[in-house]
Chains A and B, each alone.
Chain A
Amino acid sequence: MDTLFFIAFPYVALILAIGVGIYRYFRHPYTYSSLSSEILEKRKLFWGSVPFHYGITVILLTHLLAALFPSAASWLLRGQIRRLVLELTGMALGLYALFGLIVLIIRRLAPKSLVQATTSYMDGIVLFVLLVQLGSGVGVAIFNRWGGLWYLDTAVPWFWSLASLHPDMSTVAALPALPKLHFLTGFVVILLFPFSRLVHLVMFPIQYLWRPYQVVIWNRRPAGTSPYSKEVSR
């Protein structure tokens, strides 16, 4: 059972996420969108979207950076004060994001909400899986303390073993149920990525920062001509 969940499933999720994600990007670019519903409802969106997005962005980046640079992360966490500060910050951000997610769920489900006009089944699935994932993450932080530290010796080696195509789940198989659920739903989120609105997270338009303000596209000029007008600077 563990082999299925922690070796086969992560590979399936990752391959589909990358493969379908790329296929969808090139074949159906029209469907890559944040699918905002702000125009229909704005007040609850503020209390939901802002905490959720800021919270989850920092938490996700921390997970990613710690997995990429385990030695730096372990240095950070070895100091007791540093560990306490980091764990508390993480906990606060987790609760912040969880609060936002719950507001977003209420916003979708509220009776007579205009947002329901744009809600698909997939939105419901995404919200549910994210709720399990965020809830289990905060749960791990409460019931299996100092996760930041043991994350580096359990999940990170497992990630690296998956990445190097020598899958070894021995470091995670012995963990309690709650962290295991968190790992599993993590890969469910990755699996959902290419099939849901989650695709918008790779579309973060960072290129906007160095693009000139004005965009001009010519019909009657050869392809490859820069679409950016030179007349108006950044």
Chain B
Amino acid sequence: MNIRSQVSMVFHLDKCIGCHTCSLACKNLWTDRPGTEYMWWNNVETKPGTGYPTLYEDQEQYDGGWVLEDGKLRLKLGSKKSQLINLAYNPRLPTLDDYYHPFTYRYSDLIDAPLGDDQPVARPISMITGEDMDIEAGPNWDDDLSGSPIYAANDPNLKALTEDERRRFFELQQLVYFYLPRMCNHCLNPSCVAACPSGAIYKRGEDGIVLVSQEKCQGWRMCVSGCPYKKVYFNWNSGKAEKCILCYPRMEMGEAPACMHSCVGKIRYLGVVLYDADRIEETASRPESELVEAQREMILDPFDPEVIRNALSSGIDRKIVESAQKSPIYKYVKQWRMALPLHPEWRTLPMLFYIPPLLPVTATLNQQGCYEMETDFFSSLESARLPIRYMASLFSAGDEEEVIAVYRKLLGVRIYKRAQTVGDISMETAQRALDEAHLTPEDVEGIYYLTALAGADERMVVPPFLREQVVELGIDTQAFQEERGAGFLYWPKRGL
């Protein structure tokens, strides 16, 4: 066993209110510079919708991620030779139009306009050229299903539904949507790393954060095409690729990433998990229906003495093992099996997990015109308002059983707690719901606590990054303190 640790995340979609605070926290911190205006390392999408960049999920168009060919993993982008041939022109690169043309407003118009009869307006201008422009799109142009006939109707995941289901989807009284916050998945088998010709993208061994070395990057742009989630971006100003850095400078100081810290709905959980790195290739090559389960199998029990022994001998610090034991990710993903990866069929082994939202699925319109939760919870999933197959297309490579199992748990917890606190459901019925969901009352209390009550330090267990050990390895700590500071050694100026 070759055990490594990975900083991982869970998003509880039932709690996401789509406020975009995470996106703005990230934007203000990292991408408020020339060349990065159009980048949203973290963004929130309305589902069903085409996402950002438009139709990024359509891998027939973008060729991101991995495919299995004769049992071997291959980049969907093509062989290494074909990528070197395509260096001068990358046919699979999205252009700015697929994201959006970044804009601001000439606010000085409001003050400088000459005296007149009309109220002055601030004209929209391009953030790239500074010229006047017409705004045609934005990073969340389809927020809350706006423009559904253009955006939501073209969601690639709707292909999983029948014609009739799709039609019903867009009837006014049936309309249903939820939010999907997306950021870099810091995958175990990242296809952006594999696609980079200059070897500039790498995974940090200690924490699994995927980073782009700005010095090694030569702007060949293959990572942008290689990532099926389109979470590596090309900075047009510096000519380098950039991506989410999981706020490692914050985490190294013991703070949670900005998107997590600022989350209003408290939907985000962070923690470290231990996994067996020897099984990466084997796991990513499993048949589609086994991918979710195989990825769960890779994540190891941090309480198992055998695992702890192996972890220590693989060079993992005891403090990190302790942090893994407190990790909410381990509980949600492995112990309770409630969190699923986004699009596991792309075979990158994403390490960001989602608890599928329950409410849009089961709520129905009652006689009084109010939405209420389905009372017949045992059969309600088959007649779900948002078809299970749509969720399965997003979170389990089409395996409906995985998603149904999660919903049984979400329902089970609600019914049990309702029986306990409101009392209009008998404890007998509640017990039946728990049996169906394969949950014990202790599990329910644990899930309830972590979902509803847990404080920031329980939701976001930032592991120790042990920077002091890094310094000790190369240089005397006192000398380090005297010789070096933080930041760039020289200004990262664009080359000619």
Contacts and interface: CB of A to CB of B under 8 A. Distances in A.
A and B physically associate: yes
A199 B239 CA distance: 14
Interface string B456-496: 00000000001001100110000000000000001011111
Interface stretch (B20-28, B138-146, B216-224, B368-376): B216-224
B218 A214 contact: no
Given A38-B93, A217-B204, A222 B473 contact: yes
Nearest to B474: A223
A220 B473 contact: yes
Given A33-B495, A206-B84, A220-B466, A215 B93 contact: no
A35 B206 contact: no
Interface on chain B toward A: helix, strand, loop, or mixed SS? loop
Interface in A38-54: 38-42, 45-46, 49-50, 52-54
Contacts of A222: 473
Contact of B203 (A54, A117, A216): A216
B496 A196 contact: yes
Contact of A39 (B95, B198, B280, B470): B95
Contacts of B220: 34, 36, 205
B193 interface: yes
Interface string B81-93: 1011001111101
A46 B208 CA distance: 36
Interface residues of B, number: 64
B149 interface: no
A177 interface: no
A197 B205 contact: no
B32 interface: no
Task: Tell me which of A45, A114, A206, A220 has the highest count of chain B C-beta atoms within 10 A of its own C-beta.
Answer: A220
Interface string A171-215: 000000000000000000000000111011001111111010111
A232 B281 contact: yes
A122 interface: yes
Contacts of A78: none
A231 B95 contact: no
B234 interface: yes
B95 A40 contact: yes
Contacts of B90: 38
Contacts of A206: 84
Contacts of A233: 281
A62 interface: no
Contacts of A36: 219-221, 234, 239
Contacts of B189: 214, 232
B466 A33 contact: no
Contact of B218 (A32, A54, A216, A221): A32
A88 B284 CA distance: 50
Given A28-B495, A203-B218, A208-B197, A117 B236 contact: yes
Given A40-B96, A213-B75, 15 more contacts: A29-B216, A30-B492, A33-B219, A38-B93, A39-B234, A46-B91, A112-B131, A120-B496, A199-B495, A211-B199, A214-B190, A214-B280, A220-B206, A221-B315, A227-B202
13 contacts: A29-B215, A38-B93, A39-B234, A46-B91, A50-B89, A203-B218, A207-B199, A208-B83, A208-B197, A216-B205, A218-B206, A229-B203, A232-B189
Nearest first, the 10 closest Cβ-Cβ pairs linking A and B are A31-B495, A218-B205, A213-B194, A205-B197, A53-B88, A35-B239, A122-B496, A215-B202, A208-B197, A29-B215
